[in-house]
A and B are shown apart, each in its own frame.
Chain A
Amino acid sequence: MGKLSGKKLIFLGERDGVPSPAMEACFAGSGAEVVFSATECFV
């Protein structure tokens, strides 16, 4: 069991950094549940 297993994840991504959908894909098998995900951009 990983460290994130059973946790509730909040992803705060950034368009010019790592966007949230990329993080969601990476941790889909971590055993954690995504409860909120947003990607902000600064222009």
Chain B
Amino acid sequence: MDLQNQQRVIDAAEKYGAENVVVLLGSSDAEGAGVYAETVTAGDPSFAGPLAGVSLGLPVYHVFDEAIKSEADPRVWEEQISMMEMVLDTAKLAASVANMRDQHSKSKL
């Protein structure tokens, strides 16, 4: 994850409290989604950014997770996201993030 974005995630967690923040990912590949999820829960696995060694434990979901999709405006979803939903492996993406969430998130929705 971009190093500046890592800092902004830390800032948001500190300002609002980790239990009040939810991270939603739009990654296109499962491996990348897993790395993002790991970064905002256990810490930066590359040890390059501000989240290195910082376990925020944030609740993190892929936007294709059914628990999240069900909260979206269905009309806007159809317009903005349904095209990518058809071409990406949504179950694999959601599962990759869920795996990290189950291991490292301190709270869930």
Contacts and interface: CB of A to CB of B under 8 A. Distances in A.
Contact of A27 (B9, B72, B84): B72
A14 B71 CA distance: 20
A36 B8 CA distance: 7
Contacts, number: 106
A4 B26 contact: no
Contacts of A11: 24, 26
Interface of A: 2-4, 6-14, 16-20, 22-23, 25-30, 32, 35-36, 38-40, 42
Interface of B: 1-2, 5, 8-9, 11-12, 15-16, 20-29, 32, 36, 40, 58, 63-64, 67-68, 71-73, 76-77, 80-81, 84, 88, 109
5 contacts: A2-B71, A10-B58, A26-B80, A38-B5, A40-B5
